[in-house]
Chain A
Amino acid sequence: MYQYDQYDQAMVDARVEEFRDQCRRRLEGTLTEDQFKPLRLQNGLYLQLHAYMLRVAIPYGTLSGKQMHALADIADKYDRGYGHFTTRQNIQYNWIKLEDCGDILADLAKVEMHAIQTSGNCIRNISSDQYAGAAADELVDPRPYAELLRQWSSFHPEFAHLPRKFKICVIASEKDRAAMRLHDIGINIVKNAEGTLGVAFYVGGGMGRTPMIAPLIREFVPLDQMVTYSEACLRVYNRHGRRDNKYKARIKILVHEMGAEEYTRQVEEEFAHLLEQDIEPPIAELDRIRSYFQPPEFATGLAEKADRSDPDFALWIDRNCSPHKVPGYVSAAISLKPVGGIPGDASAQQMHLMAELAKDYSFDECRVTHAQNIILPHVEVGRLYELWEKLDEAGLGTANLDQVGDIIACPGLDYCSLANARSIPVSQKISERFAANGKGELLGELKLKISGCINACGHHHAGHIGILGVDRKGVENYQLLLGGSEAEDVSLAKITGPGFNEDGIVDAVETVADLYLERREDGERFLDTYRRLGMDTFKEALYG
């Protein structure tokens, strides 16, 4: 894992002092709320329905056990004993007091963490594949590139007041487990025909009210020009991104309105200019960062098969464990989606336990996924059973990764001031329904995603089944969407038709699931059957 040196530490320490000072000036009244807002936002502090919400960055979703312990301590000390893991691999606390913020940031800085640029119109936390460094199919570990971009983008003087927030994702395999093309910039580490590593740039994806899949704008940027190319992409956006309407301010709108070709032309021109400016970090820096991501000392000669005699355990292996590049290991997913629970929530106690388990079973490392679960990346197959028993005892052993119960849901009307409708109760009802009727067991992979309003924090556009909360004459109403995917077969879901009330939407999900169960062919997932049959068949089932 990456570790701060004296420079990294000095930067976050200075930031803590700066923010303390800004809070002081706000409390004294020398800063107005309007002036304070963009400053607090660049430190992840939102004002929500009931309290301040603080978002803490978890760069590329990677955490040490010690850091997870610290997150648990913050939940206990400053919040109500809970944290909420988010779709951008961060954690949020929902009940924070302004007076405590300086101390929280100081506690975070002690474990090399921060809340820098977790909100605001700047370059946000860089996300990545949760199986980085472990996945059997990856080309290289993408995190060193993400870390380099983290440093480059931190306190970037030119890009602190962009037209809108800016999200970058880095992956390094053909399988996309991080919704790469739904980011403002999606970076895929690739090899060219000569076998040299480089970077493919996808620019202008995003969700929100106008979802777009990022087009490929450059197939291959040499590794030692990645930062320069990123800078060119950002500068053209900063120069021309729309500022007249915040709903049209994301880079996806610029790329769409200008055309990917013209945008690319301007980027290339700026890139040529910036190459002369010599702004790229030395390649030695990438090597230095890489040295922190060396594989841990994996054992050899381990058993490759687990004893599957306990059927509940066997099911958990099948659903929650993924192949590892080293024989005898797997990556194990801890589902934060117990039946009827709040997706992505973890209690301080659970966080402490996950921290312990990371230490004991996974070389002191864990990951947060964009689907709001936790991964232990490197677990010996032979020790899975004892791990599972401990998880199960703590309510963390749910076997439902990528199943209908593994729902992504935004905070919705229970917390969020922008919401039209509640997301959490709907997700709870759906997971309870499919657990009770046993159909959840039959459905296989089915990604269900719920947002409480058009801003799409719950990724509903990318759900095999998506649910969008809308306001219908003052009543909460839910639209159903079908056919989205955030993976390498990326697509945007489409609305089926008129919306449903809270119970109606649960029934509607069951209706489309039934249709799938009835009509699926060999090996088809829900998404495949939907794509084969088309929307009309599903509409027919829903609306007759």
Chain B
Amino acid sequence: MADRNPVDLGTGRDDVQLRFRSDEQAGIAAVTVDSFLDQPDAEAVRIEPGDNALDLLPHLSRLRLVEVNFPAFTDGRGYSSARTLREHGYTGELRAVGDVLVDQLRFMRRCGFDAFAPDAPINEADAAAALERFDHVYQPAADEAVPIWTLRHG
């Protein structure tokens, strides 16, 4: 809705610290959603919190990288954007950039993010602990985790 203000697409954000994919990292620069929609050959896009991921659905096949920006970690729109893209079949890299903190990693993974370029480096021991802490999940999301209610009923 309201805040579609262009933000700094500066360099630091592209430093991927954590990556959970086996393919080669795409060395392409992401552009804004508006530019992406204007450029038929663009392969990478950056979603801001005010962008609607649904606008990208007709173009998923040419996308190789989607960055979802979190200017403030408290703004949770990016979680819905991520899951929406995964549910509609996007399989390329889905990178969380910006104010990405260790305590959000697990939920981000669950929503389909598989790469992280945080503004401030994350302590990797804390990250590993955070990702392993819960053995189970209650509900399905964009990951492979089997919800407890399925485990209960086979």
Q: Enumerate chain A interface residues (CB-CB to B < 8 A).
A: 5, 7-8, 10-11, 14, 17-18, 21-22, 25, 30, 35, 38-39, 121, 151-152, 154-162, 227, 235, 238-240, 242-244, 273, 277-279, 281-282, 284-285, 288
Contacts and interface: CB of A to CB of B under 8 A. Distances in A.
> Chain A contact residues: over half helix, strand or loop, or mixed?
helix
Interface string B133-149: 11111111100000111
A121 B77 CA distance: 12
A121 B74 contact: yes
Interface in B116-154: 123, 126, 129-130, 133-141, 147-153
Contacts of A277: 87, 140
A453 B153 CA distance: 48
B153 A158 contact: no
Chain B CB count within 10 A is highest, among A21, A158, A235, for A158
Nearest to A21: B129
A523 B153 CA distance: 53
Interface of B: 1-3, 49, 52, 73-77, 79-80, 83-84, 87, 101, 103-104, 106-108, 110-111, 123, 126, 129-130, 133-141, 147-153
Contacts, number: 108
B140 A279 contact: yes
Contact of B101 (A10, A35, A157, A279): A35
A243 B73 contact: no
A478 B76 CA distance: 37
Contacts of B133: 14, 17-18
B71 to A, nearest CB: 10
A7 B151 contact: yes
B136 A158 contact: no
A21 B127 CA distance: 12
A161 B74 contact: yes
B138 A161 contact: no
A42 to B, nearest CB: 9
Contacts of B110: 157
A157 B103 contact: no
Contact of A157 (B77, B111, B136): B111
Contacts of B149: 151, 281-282, 285
A161 B107 CA distance: 10
